[in-house]
Amino acid sequence: MEKLIIEHTEDTPKVHFEPEIGIFSIEGRSLPENAVAFYNPILEWLKQYENTENKGFTFDFKLDYFNTASAKQITKLLIQLQQMTQKFDIKVNWHYYVEDADIMASGLRFAKLIKANIELLPYE
């Protein structure tokens, strides 16, 4: 399966999915004008990934900021990942700047909302 790479812009995060090595990441700011249009290709790519024979992967979120529309799409993404755990061994990491209580709290809310094991990882 091909990599999925979307370079960041001022309003969108970098998306870097490398199925060969099992590392998927979304990093940066997520304020797209149309969050559904931005995240749909990501959700579709993951649906295609479900049909592969790959083993498992690590999914890293390292978001500095995201708006409400992005939060809805991130929720969809996390729900899809949760469903994929029936087939794949998936580790989800939620990285947050050590002094950013809002992003840390968002990670906790997402974990509680979808009843998933999300590891919160502070960085400096």
Q: Contact, 63 vs 27, CB < 8 A?
A: yes
Number of residues that make up the chain? 124
Average pLDDT across the chain, whole number: 96
Q: Report domain extents, the chain.
A: 4-123
Give the pTM: 0.95
Q: Contact, 59 vs 90, CB < 8 A?
A: yes
> Any idea which architecture 4-123 has in CATH?
2-Layer Sandwich (3.30)
pLDDT digits (tens, 9 = 90+) for 52-99: 998 899 999 999 999 999 999 999 999 999 999 999 999 999 999 999
